Amino acid sequence: MGLASPRLKSWGENACPNSLTEGYNKCWINPAIKPNPKEHEAMQTSELLKQLHDKATRGVALSAEEQASLNAWYAQQDKEEDAALAVTPPAEVLAALQGQVAAATAELLTVTQRIQTLATENEGLRREIAVLQKQVLQSSTAQPA
């Protein structure tokens, strides 16, 4: 499992440190950057929970402890999602977005009308070309060579 921090080295699936202290000693690329233990632990926990989720969705049986952890993580994810969805954007933002939608709709209508006009003109030109081609063919067959 590799962690997504630029301060961390990637390690193989089974080479992840067993403890935070081991992680401090073996996994840091730049010793001048001091690791944040909570950040490191949170990343490890998040990765573990994502792996548990992956196992569960693939039908792999989880231990009771793993399932309880996964259920708690699901509840936390739901809580965070609910909080994010509960935020109402300011009226100015909504008004600006509605204005953008209205402008895009008007532009789409204009372009659609232009396409319809061009399609009608193209059809007229095709008919005119067909008439001219017929005239050329008739005039070439009427004149002896």
Q: Give residue 57's domain range.
A: 20-86
Q: Of 37, 38, 40, 54, nearest to 4 (Cα)?
A: 40
pTM for this entry: 0.39
* CA separation for the pair 54, 48 (Å, rounded): 10
pLDDT digits (tens, 9 = 90+) for 28-48: 444 555 556 676 677 778 888
Do residues 25 and 65 both lie within one domain?
yes
Do residues 120 and 131 both lie within one domain?
yes
pLDDT, residue 21, reads 41
Query: Regarding predicted confidence, which is higher, 17 or 48?
Result: 48
In a domain, 72, yes or no: yes
Looking at every residue in the chain, the average pLDDT score rounds to 79
Do residues 29 and 81 both lie within one domain?
yes
Q: What angle, rounded to 10 degrees, do the helices at 37-57 and 64-86 form?
A: 110
Do residues 71 and 58 both lie within one domain?
yes
Percent of the chain with pLDDT strictly greater than 70: 72
The residue out of 70, 86, 102 marking a domain boundary is 86
* CA separation for the pair 14, 9 (Å, rounded): 14
Which 3-state string (H, E, C) describes 76-90? HHHHHHHHHHHCCCC
Count how many domains the chain has. 2
**In the predicted model, what is the mean pLDDT of residues 1-7?**
39
pLDDT, residue 28, reads 42
* CA separation for the pair 67, 49 (Å, rounded): 10
Residue 27 neighbours by CB under 8 Å, 6+ apart:
3, 8, 9, 11, 17
In a domain, 13, yes or no: no
Query: Regarding predicted confidence, which is higher, 143 or 7?
Result: 143
pLDDT digits (tens, 9 = 90+) for 122-144: 999 999 999 999 999 998 887 76
* CA separation for the pair 33, 51 (Å, rounded): 28
Query: Regarding predicted confidence, which is higher, 51 or 40?
Result: 51
